[in-house]
Amino acid sequence: MNHAIEAFIPIALFLVTGGVAIAAMILRNQKRKIESGEILAAIEKGVDVKFPDVNKNRLLPGLIWLFLGIIMTLGMALAIPDEAPSGMWVWGLIPAAVGAAYLIVYRVEQQEGESEEN
């Protein structure tokens, strides 16, 4: 009986995490549909439309992914029991790399915007 509960905990964790991620994607998609409908209506009426700045949307996710990866790497390196595979901490570098990529794109787009202004 105890083994069944131990097996259920990670399964429940992945299901809940997946459910939250799917719900967030659905809500974001609905928000984008509403925003695009408003933009199309404004264009049809001849109103000057200011589009949202996409570059701002890369900083926060980049920082979140980067620090999540750092915390995962440190947590798995320090807290994994001795019987676990020795290289398990390397998996934390994946979200750190995703965060670094977000931040690199953010910085490159920021520099391109500054060069276009000059």
User: pLDDT tens digit string along 8-39?
Assistant: 877 888 899 999 999 999 999 999 899 889 88
- Domain span at residue 4 reads 1-51
Pair 62, 38 in one domain:
no
Q: List the structure tokens of 61.
A: 């996710």
Element (H, E) at 56: helix 56-79
Pair 87, 107 in one domain:
yes
The model's pLDDT over 62-94, given as tens digits with 9 standing for 90+, comes to 999 999 999 988 888 887 666 667 777 788 899
Is this prediction's pTM over 0.85? no
- Torsion angle, alpha carbons of 82, 83, 84, 89, to 10: 10
Domain boundary among 51, 66, 87: 51
